[in-house]
Structures are given as C-alpha cells and as structure tokens.
Chain A
Amino acid sequence: MIEVEDVSKHFGDFKALDRVSLRVNQGKLVALLGPSGSGKTTLLRILAGLEQPDAGRIKLGGIDATGLGTRDRRVGFVFQHYALFRHMSVAENVAFGLKVRKGADRPSKAVIAERVHTLLNLVQLEGLAGRYPSQLSGGQRQRVALARALAVEPRLLLLDEPFGALDAQVRKDLRRWLRNLHDEMGLTGVFVTHDQEEALEVADEVVVMNKGRIEQIGTPAEIYDSPATPFVYRFLGNVNAVPCSVTGGAAQVGGLHIGGGAVDGGGTAFVRPHDVEILELSPDLPQATIRQVIVLGPVVRVEVVLPDGTVLDSEVTREHKDKLKLRRGLEVSIFLRKARVFVGG
C-alpha cells in the first residue's frame, strides 16, 4: 500500500504539488492523469525517491519512506524514453539490478541467467537477449525497460508516460498487454499519462490532477460518469460546456430546462454529446436547428443551434441519423438525458 500525506513540492516559484494526499491499495494499478504541468510526473518521481518533497510524508507498505533514496525504496521505475543502457545487451540490461547487489544478496550467475530468461519470456522478447537497444523497436525497448524494472522484484512499479513515445498501434497493443501483465502478477503500480483513453482503459483507479492538486480520485467509470469538478468534465472526453442561469432551483440553458441547481446565479452546464438526444420535431420539446452533420465512422456528430444561439454537440448512431434523415438546416427537437450544473464555474 502506498500512502501520500500532504505532499508539497516547489521548483523555484512554481508550485508543482500542493498538499497532495493519496492512497493506493495493494495490487491496484493507478493512473495519474492530467495535462502537462499538473504535477503528475513530480508526484511519481517523489514516490520513486528521485525527488524529495518539501513537505509531507510518503509511506510504502506502512513504513515511512520519506527521505529514503531511490536505491533503498525497492521500486521499479520505467522511464518515458526507456533509459536503457546502450552499451549493454538486452540480457545485461535486465540483469543489471541483480548484478549490482552486494555480498549475500547477490544471486549466483545461474540464478541471474534464469531470472533474465523468465523475464524475457514474460515480456515476449525471448529471442532478443543478445541484441543491443539500438537494434530494437520502440515497443521492444519499452518492454526491455519493464523487464529490467521487474528484475529487482520491486514492491511498487512506477511508469512515467510508458507509451508516450510510441506510435498509436503499438501503444494500443502494449496497453492491453500491460493490463494483462498486471493482472497476472498482482503488482501495485502507478503510471503517469496525459492520455485519458489510456488511463480509462488500463487503470483500476484514476487520479485526475491539475495545477499541483488532485481534482478527483475514482474508478474509470466514476470519473467519466460523475466528474467532481468542471476541470474533470472538460479533461475527460468531449463535453458541451454552456453558460446557464439558475433561478429558483432550476437551471436553464437558452430556455431549455436542464435540471436543478443548488444556488441561484450564473454557472456552467456540462452535457456529454451522447447525452444530447435528437428527436423528430415535437411541440412538447425544445427546438433546435442542425448546423452541421459529420460522420465519424460508426458515430455521427451533429451540431445543433438553440433558438438563443447556444451551440451543442451531439453524438448519435449512424442508424439514428439515417432514420431521421438528419441533415444541415433541419429543425429538430432535443432532449438532454443528463446534465450537470456547476454554479460559478
């Protein structure tokens, strides 16, 4: 288990982390998700002991690890650009962590060779033990880096944008592979990413960060379905953010009643495009005009304009589009399945 308590970190005047607290349970794979400069990499490096926090404490497995250097933390760290040792073969890279052990801790040559073999099997690079990093593709290098980190049997695996430098297809494959690997090994893991899709697909739990603070912690479904803050709404998936007014506990967008608001005043309403339903023109429902219809594979993005000029994005299926013959200029009715209002936000 990892516990982060009130950790802060400054770089000069820049506040990289501002009293961040976090708890990761044993065996979970957690994503730190956020834009660049949100402090996610700093938090990861603090967990690894590569940076020391200005304030706060880090506990690993119940033991205070604050102030402990990287060497003594027994964490595996996988770097974005792999950081493989270029002058060592794949096998030598993987064996490095075992070879630098001293005295009785250092396994025999046969044990090291056996372990390297097992790990290379695990990352599906059996045949490449004798190659050098310069002879490998990006995806292969990343798997070597992972095998090297796993060789020291870390109690915690940390990955910094592990797939950031790879192209889209390799990335997708590796993502699934990492998820499966994690399920097999039951290791506690934390990875940093700015790619929401990656976070939602791979992680058990997602920590959304912004400006050095944690915005929300939750399962991918929780984060996507009920974002806690406007930032999370905007950062995860497409969303319509439209100004609205709340009067008498009812929120209105362009004459459209969209639900309740706790406090009266101006605010912002967030509606996911797939929650904007497009129906045949009906006198009981608010009206809108289609401004644009874009086919994106199986889904169709429709831009509608409300009578007051507010523009909403909607996502409908191909069948739905064909059935209603949606096209530019068509008058339709809309229905918002779900919306959330943040007053003042």
Chain B
Amino acid sequence: MTSVPLSLLRRTRVASSVIPGFGLTLGFTLTYLSLIVLLPLAALLLKAASASLDQWLAVLGDPRVLSALWLSFGGALAAAVINAVFGLLVAWVLVRYPFPGRKVVDAFVDLPFALPTAVAGIALTALYAPNGWLGRLLEPLGVKVAFTPLGVVVAMVFIGLPFVVRTVEPVLQDVDLELEEAAASLGADRLQTFFRVILPAVAPSLLTGFSLALARAVGEYGSVIFIAGNMPGVSEIAPLLIVTKLEQYDYVGATVIATIMLAISFTLLLVVNLLQKWRRARMGG
C-alpha cells in the first residue's frame, strides 16, 4: 500500500511516448499559430505603436470610446455570468433527467453556434422591439430591451449559452450520483450537497465555459448591432466603434481601440487561466 505520486508517473510517461515526431509537430504548431494568430495580432500592435501618445490620449479620453468599451466588457461579463448560472441549469437538466424530447432540446442548445449572427440579431430585434411579441408585453412594465444596453446583454446571452452548456455537460456526466448519495448519508441537505459537492466538481469546467462565453460576447458583432440601436455613448459596442472609425478612415483610432480591447481580453483570459491553475495546484493535480 505504498503510493507513488501520480505526477511523477505521468512525467516519465510523457518522455517515452510511443508516437514520435515531437520536433515536427511542435514546428508545425508554432508555424501555424504564428500565421493564424500571432501575425495579425503583431500587425495590429505594430500599427498601434505608430500612433503618437497624443493620439492615444485622445482616444482614451473620448467618452464615446470609454462608454463603448464599458458596454462591451461590462455587457459581456454580465452575459457570461447569466450564462454560467442558467447554462449550468440547462446542462443539469439535460444530464440528470431522461425526458421525452431530450435529444431535441439538446440539439437546440447548439443553434446559437450555427445560426448566422445577423439572423439571430434580426430575430431578437423583432422579438424585443416595442411592437414585437415580447417587447409589447414588456413595454407596459417600463422595460425596454431593444435599442438599449439591456438588448446588447440579451444578444450576448443568446450567443454565449452553448459554450457553458457544452463544457459543463460532459463533466457533469462524470459526477457520480454516488457522490450525492454519499453527501446525503453524511447528513448534508440538498443545498449543501449542491454547493459543497457538485459545484466544486464542475467549477473548473464552468469557469472554462464562462471564459469562452465571455470571449465570444466581447468579440460579438453581428447579432448585437441589430438589437443595440447603436446610439453613441449609450448602446454602441466597441467593435462597432472600430468599424465606424475605419469607415471614416481613422485607422489610428480604430487600431488603438482594438489594442485596448486586445489587452483587456488577454488580461481577462489570463486571470481565468491563473484561477484554474491555482485550483489544480490546490487539488494536487
């Protein structure tokens, strides 16, 4: 009953993989990533570097830019949080309860992946416009969705849902019913079982789903611009502002906003990854 540290076993095993060709595959990976990801980003940074400090300050001081960035990232965060909660719920229902039509519901989850975003945007706008099916019901309550920041969040929730469901689902499938039974036999009530046993087990995948939904929502353009109404300073998102600037031949302004977006996105994803790493280290791998 001696125990060999698992991490040690794994490390030695990697060294002697039965499939050779590490050099070749690594070379290919780096080349591919460079061409597809790094080169365009480098071009962006190069262009941004050509902007003078004054130009940077001008863009950063522009309330329209700040409000667009705030809407893009704030809205995306809000949408990702909403998706994390309800995506987990959807995944839970799909995994735990067999019901007629489950396969169909399961397929529905992927629709936001597949639908052209413009179609989604137009559909959402038609629904939530003041004379739309849902907008008509909401208007007397004083809730305006279409052409407001709320509409932006709604569109972002729509396109981000599958990311959470699809990352949480397989992990939830692995959470054995026995764990819940064990918790119950130890005296835990349902809430305790959920928050102390199930949630920590799915937390890493939930965090991954959250960051994917967040990244997607930050970069979303097509579906948002229809429902947003795009009022400068109110419901205009940063990607749209970039397009607007490009159309006005303000390449420097567009690049600077893009660079800021890149920096914030990178920081957000880095934080999520560090969180994951910290968690893994704490659990001992």
Which residues in window 2-22 of B have CB below 8 A to A?
2-3, 5-6
When C-beta atoms are compared, the residue in chain B nearest to A135 turns out to be B284
Q: Is the CB of B184 within 8 A of A70?
A: yes
In the complex the two chains form, what is the Cα distance from A204 to B234 in whole Å? 77
Q: Is the CB of B184 within 8 A of A69?
A: yes
In the complex the two chains form, what is the Cα distance from A15 to B29 in whole Å? 58
Is B30 in the interface zone, CB < 8 Å from A? no
Output the residue of B6, B186, B284 with the most chain A CB within 10 A.
B186
Is A134 in the interface zone, CB < 8 Å from B? yes
Q: Is the CB of B1 within 8 A of A81?
A: no
Q: Is the CB of A83 within 8 A of B1?
A: no
Give the total of A residues in contact with B, Cβ under 8 Å: 36
In the complex the two chains form, what is the Cα distance from A176 to B7 in whole Å? 32
Q: Which residues of B contact A (CB under 8 A)?
A: 1-3, 5-6, 176, 178-179, 181-189, 192, 196-197, 200-201, 203, 283-285
What residues of A have a CB within 8 angstroms of the CB of B6 in the complex? 134-135
Q: Is the CB of A152 within 8 A of B3?
A: no
From the candidates B179, B181, B185, B285, name the one contacting A76 in the complex (CB within 8 A): B185
Is A23 in the interface zone, CB < 8 Å from B? no
Q: Is the CB of B184 within 8 A of A71?
A: yes
In the complex the two chains form, what is the Cα distance from A84 to B201 in whole Å? 11
Given contacts A86-B283, A135-B5, A136-B3, contact A100 B187 (CB under 8 A): yes
Q: Is the CB of A96 within 8 A of B181?
A: no
Q: Is the CB of A139 within 8 A of B1?
A: yes
Is A342 in the interface zone, CB < 8 Å from B? no
What residues of A have a CB within 8 angstroms of the CB of B185 in the complex? 48-50, 70-71, 75-77, 149
When C-beta atoms are compared, the residue in chain A nearest to B1 turns out to be A139
Given contacts A83-B176, A100-B196, A140-B1, contact A71 B181 (CB under 8 A): no
For residue B196, give the distance in angstroms from its CB to the closest CB of chain A: 7
Is A79 in the interface zone, CB < 8 Å from B? yes
Given contacts A77-B185, A96-B196, A97-B187, contact A135 B176 (CB under 8 A): no
Would you mind naming 14 contact pairs between A and B with Cβ atoms under 8 Å apart? A69-B184, A70-B184, A71-B185, A71-B188, A71-B189, A83-B181, A84-B182, A85-B201, A96-B183, A96-B196, A134-B6, A134-B284, A135-B3, A137-B2
What residues of A have a CB within 8 angstroms of the CB of B189 in the complex? 71, 100
For residue B180, give the distance in angstroms from its CB to the closest CB of chain A: 9
In the complex the two chains form, what is the Cα distance from A170 to B3 in whole Å? 13
Q: Is the CB of B3 within 8 A of A140?
A: yes
When C-beta atoms are compared, the residue in chain B nearest to A131 turns out to be B284
